[in-house]
Amino acid sequence: MVPATIPSAANLAWAAPPRSLSDAGTHAFVDRSFPRRAPMKRPRAPLPRTADGAPHVPVLLAEVIEALALPGAAIAVDGTFGAGGYTRAMLAAEPNLRVIAIDRDPGAIAGGGDLVAASKGRLSLVEGRFGKLDDLLAAQDVDAVDAVVLDIGVSSMQIDQPERGFSFRNDGPLDMRMARSGRSAADIVNDTDEADLADIIFHYGEERRSRAVARAIVEARKAGRIESTAALAGIVAGVVWADPASGIHPATRTFQGLRIAVNDELGELVQALHAAERILKPGGRLVVVTFHSLEDRIVKQFLTIRSGRAAQGSRHLPSQSAGPDASFTLATKGAVLPSEAETRANPRARSAKLRAAVRNATAAPPPLAAIEALAALPERPPRGRGGRR
């Protein structure tokens, strides 16, 4: 049952017509008028806003709250605070709930100050990576929780600020670091050898022309470092053709690959699933919203194995019998998708998938190597032995 206090998906539509999305990869980029080689400046429509003014529209919000099935006096973790859309709804849904919300982006944490003040002690904000969920909670003297929710990917605030360097639409520094520290996209683009660059773009960006893109980048580097999103988008658009009618910008997949590599997004997701398994109480719920197939595959396969449903003898998954050993029971049949109304109102919801599971009483088993492998770049076969390269 979805509490009445939770805004419905229809209420979350913003007043301005949805603009084309300058998305760096998590959600599909739709622009029917992009030029072939040079990025184009377009007038900016107002940012989409929630009814209460937050600059990010939470995706599948009512479905998330329903899937969490929050018990009254409980502790819930929002591993991806962002603009606080899920946290706000959780606090509103259960007056006795305490929420610990995590984000690796210091800007997101700073933006949550008002919500902390309004929560009257029920909300704690923690800056850090959700892959370290259990360590971050231990530092708060919490060793078991009733719910964990993850809304994987980037926020609208991150995409829409050119200076964060996530978007090829508005020129900005080639950065893409959610945490604003560590190796930037420019570091990877300028300092990685051609073969490794092609691997990142192929495996994390799912770009079939990865080798041509990597070659063009290495060629362009001879003239100087590539430091801006527009420069990189122009280089990619020189070697990747995309049908303008498709609405997909040629640099979409390359930007996605780099962003995943910069933030180790798949590795973080794998660690977070295992950490959630360790800290959820029996009966506690794990709810994960993903935005592309690489992420969803990890969540789906993790839950398939841990609920004892992995196909026996599968080439990719270790077999595991159903029954008392399973650490989770699936709470959703397949993935929950956004309604047509939500997708119409918020195109960024288009590729979202929600999966949920309930923690069983079984002790957390060791991490799954098969799932960890899904986050890693595959070993490159030696030269001359065939394979993709």
Ligand X SMILES: C[S@@+](CC[C@H](N)C(=O)[O-])C[C@H]1O[C@@H](n2cnc3c(N)ncnc32)[C@H](O)[C@@H]1O
For residue 112, the minimal CB distance to ligand X (Å) is 10
For residue 178, the minimal CB distance to ligand X (Å) is 4
For residue 171, the minimal CB distance to ligand X (Å) is 22
For residue 50, the minimal CB distance to ligand X (Å) is 8
For residue 107, the minimal CB distance to ligand X (Å) is 8
User: In which element (H, E) is residue 304 found?
Assistant: helix 293-306
Output 250 or 267, the one with its CB closest to ligand X.
267
CB 264 within 8 A of CB 130: no
Output 82 or 257, the one with its CB closest to ligand X.
82
In the three-class reduction of DSSP (H, G, I as helix; E, B as strand; rest coil), residue 80 is classed as coil
For residue 91, the minimal CB distance to ligand X (Å) is 12
The per-residue DSSP string of 356-389 comes to EEEE-SSPPPPPPHHHHHHHSPPPPPPTTS-S--
Output 82 or 338, the one with its CB closest to ligand X.
82
Question: Tokens representing 86?
Answer: 């899920």
For residue 110, the minimal CB distance to ligand X (Å) is 12
Output 64 or 326, the one with its CB closest to ligand X.
64
Using alpha carbons, select from 343, 354, 262, 258 the residue that is nearest to residue 30. Answer: 343
Using alpha carbons, select from 36, 37, 55, 35 the residue that is nearest to residue 45. Answer: 55
Output 3 or 35, the one with its CB closest to ligand X.
3
* Rounded (10°) CA dihedral 301, 304, 307, 312: -110
Output 103 or 234, the one with its CB closest to ligand X.
103
DSSP state of 133: H
The CA distance from 152 to 355, in Å, is 12
CB 34 within 8 A of CB 135: no
CB 243 within 8 A of CB 34: no
For residue 58, the minimal CB distance to ligand X (Å) is 3
Nearest-5° angle of CA 99, CA 265, CA 282? 40
Output 59 or 237, the one with its CB closest to ligand X.
59
Using alpha carbons, select from 90, 106, 73, 83 the residue that is nearest to residue 149. Answer: 90
**Residues that bind ligand X in the complex, under the rule CB under 6 A:** 56, 58, 80, 82-86, 102-105, 108, 129-131, 151, 153-155, 178, 268
Using alpha carbons, select from 221, 161, 151 the residue that is nearest to residue 186. Answer: 221
Output 39 or 131, the one with its CB closest to ligand X.
131
